[in-house]
Structure 1
Amino acid sequence: MHPPIDLDAYLRRIDYRATAAPDLPTLRGLVAAHAAAIPFENLTPWLGLRVDLELPAIERKLLHDGRGGYCFEQNLLLQAALRAIGFEVSALIARVLWRQTDDTMTAQTHMLLRVDLDGETRLVDVGFGSQTLTDALRLQADIEQPTPLEPFRLVRMDSDWCMQSRVHGVWRPLYRFDLHTPYPVDLVVANHYVSTYPASRFTAHLIAARVDGDNRLSLLDREFTVRRSGHEPEHRTLRDGAEIRRVLEQRFRLRLPLHADLDRRLDELPA
C-alpha cells in the first residue's frame, strides 16, 4: 500500500490545469510542468541537514515550503502523483556518468522512473539537475528522441541502458541503469550516501537548476549559468551572498529556508 499524496496541492504547485488522466498527454504535460515549477536544489544536505524521503516530508518541503530538492525527492514526489492519477510507475536506480567516461563504474546514486503505459515503457526523470528531462522518453535504443530542450537517446551498455543527451552537438552520457526495481531501502541508502558523504557534490557545493522556458538555469557555488539552445552558455560569477540569495529567490523561484548559518555559508562560497 502506497501512502496517498495531496494531488490537488501537487497540481497547484506545478500549475497544471488540464484534466489529469493516466494517458500519454498527461504524462508529458506533468513532466514538463514539474521541471519548470520545482527547482533542483541541494540546500538541505549542503547545510548539513537530513534529507527525509518519507512522502509527508517531501510534500511539506516541495509543495508547501516553496523549496526544491534533488533526484530522490523530486522523483518520489512525481511517482506518488502519477500513482494517484492511475499510472503504473516504478523506481529505477542509476550510476551517474555525467562528466565521466562511459566505462566508469560509479555508485548507484541516482533515481529515475519507469512508466508502463498502453503496452509501451516510458522513462521520466525530473531530478537530474542541469540535464533534467522535460519529456517522457520511449525505452528504445539508438534513436534520437526530441524534447522541448535537448534531444536525448538511449544506448545499450552490456546488460544496462545508458541515458545520453546531445550537448553542443556531442552525445554525452548522463547515467547507466538496468530495469530492476530497487527495494525502498536501496533508495534510502543511496540518499544517505549522497547527502552525508564528505566528498559528495551535494555536501561540498551549492547546486541549483531549473528549466525556464527554452532556457536552462544552473548555479554551482557562485557561478550562475544560462544555457539557451543554439547559443553559447552565459556565465556570471555572483559577487556575494546577497546576490546569490537574490538569484536563488528570483531566478530559481526558491523560498530559502530559515537557517542560522545560511547567510554566512553563502558569503563564504568560493569564487
Structure 2
Amino acid sequence: MIFTQESLSLFKGLSLDNVSLKAYFKRIGFEGKAEKNLDTIKKLHYLHPQAIPFENINPFTEEPVVLTLPAVFEKMVKQGRGGFCFEQNLLFGAVLNTIGFDVVGLSARVFWEIVVGEVRPRDHMLLLLSLDGVKYLLDVGFGSASFSAPLVLNKEGIQNTGDYEYRISYVSEFHYLEIKIKNDWKLMHRFGLEHQMLPDYEVVSWYLCTHPTSVFIKDLMVARSFQGGRYTLFNNQFTVHKKNEASTKKKLDTAEEIMDVLKEKMLINLPERDKLKDKVQRLLKEIQNS
C-alpha cells in the first residue's frame, strides 16, 4: 500500500460531538454560527489564546501530558487549564476539522529565544489549513509570540495581525517565520510541509516532559493573550506586553504571588495547588541561590 499525505492526515476522523463543540465555543467565548469560511477561522484563532493559556504546569510538576483528543478536551475545556503546543493545536485542529475545514499538522524547529548556535529538535506543532485554494498557517500554542490571526503561507512581505507584524520566507525547501519586535526581525521557527502524525508529536512531547535538560521541566512558562497585548510568566518574571507601549516587568518574590498571577492573570484553574506551590517554592530557592 502506498501512503499519501491525505491518507496520513492527523485529523482524519478526529472530531468533537455537538455537545463538546458547544462546550469549546463557550470556553473561548465564541458566539454565533461556525461556518466554513475565513471569518470563522479568524474569530476562533483570535479568541482561543485569550481563553486557553499556554502553560507547562504538567511537565513542571512531573505530571504526564496525554496527547489524545479526550484528554486535551478534558484538561483545557472541562478543567479550565491550558497546555503547550501539542495539546493546544491538537484541540484546535480537531475543532476546525469538526466544522469541516481541511487541516493538517506540521512540525517546526524553534529558534525563538534560543542561544545562537544551539540546535534543538523539531519540537513545535503548528497547523496548515487549506481554504478556497489558499493555504493558511495557524498556531494557538506558541506562547509568548503566538500570532492572533491566520497567516497566508505563500504571501510575500509583511503580514500584520493587528498586534504584531510577521513574515514568512521560503528558502531551500523550508519556510521561515519571523516576528518584528522593536524594529528588529526575530526568527521564530523553521518548518516544512510534511504532514505529521500523532506518534511524531508523542515522541517529542515525551522527550520534553522527561529529559532532565528540558526547559519544560526546569522552568515555569505561561502566556495568555488579551485584547491589545499579552501576559507572560517565565519562572518569577511577570511581563505585560501592550501594543505600541513599553513592556512592564515585575519580579515575583513569593510562591503566593506566582500562584495569584496564574489564577488571576492567566485564568488557570490550578491543579493540586500544594504540589504546584511546593515546586514553585523550590524554583524560587534555586533562583535565589544562583
Q: TM class by shorter-chain length? A: over 0.9
Runs of 4+ in 1 over 3 A off after TM superposition: 100-105
In the alignment, is residue 11 of structure 1 matched against residue 25 of structure 2? yes
CA–CA separation in structure 2 for the residues paired with 1:30 and 1:130 = 18
1:50-89 matches, within 5 Å, as 50-89=64-103
Query: Are residues 159 and 12 of structure 1, via their aligned partners in 2, closer, same or farther at CA, if it must alter by over 3 Å?
Result: same
* Equivalent residue, structure 1, for 2:3: none
* Equivalent residue, structure 2, for 1:96: 110
2:278 to 264, 268, 271: 264
* Equivalent residue, structure 1, for 2:160: 146
In the alignment, is residue 169 of structure 1 matched against residue 183 of structure 2? yes
* Equivalent residue, structure 2, for 1:112: 126
1:2 to 6, 9, 13: 13
**Greater radius of gyration (CA):** 2
Query: CA offsets, 1:36-57, max 9 Å, x none?
Result: 1100000000000110001101
**What is the letter of the counterpart of residue 2 of structure 1?**
G
Identical aligned residues as a percent? 34
In the alignment, is residue 39 of structure 1 matched against residue 53 of structure 2? yes
Is the contact made by 1:94 and 1:109 (CA closer than 8 Å) also made in structure 2? yes
CA–CA separation in structure 1 for the residues paired with 2:32 and 2:185 = 34
Query: Are residues 136 and 93 of structure 1, via their aligned partners in 2, closer, same or farther at CA, if it must alter by over 3 Å?
Result: same
What is the SS of the residue equivalent to 2:124?
A: strand
* C-alpha deviation, 1:232, in angstroms: 2.0
1:121-140 matches, within 5 Å, as 121-140=135-154
Is the contact made by 1:102 and 1:173 (CA closer than 8 Å) also made in structure 2? no
CA–CA separation in structure 1 for the residues paired with 2:145 and 2:241 = 11
CA–CA separation in structure 1 for the residues paired with 2:189 and 2:15 = 30
Is the contact made by 1:35 and 1:211 (CA closer than 8 Å) also made in structure 2? yes
**What is the letter of the counterpart of residue 15 of structure 2?**
P
CA–CA separation in structure 2 for the residues paired with 1:128 and 1:103 = 21
What is the SS of the residue equivalent to 1:261?
A: helix
Is the contact made by 1:14 and 1:34 (CA closer than 8 Å) also made in structure 2? yes
The normalised TM-score by structure 2 is: 0.90
Query: Are residues 155 and 100 of structure 1, via their aligned partners in 2, closer, same or farther at CA, if it must alter by over 3 Å?
Result: farther
Structure 2 spans left out of the alignment, 5+ residues: 1-11
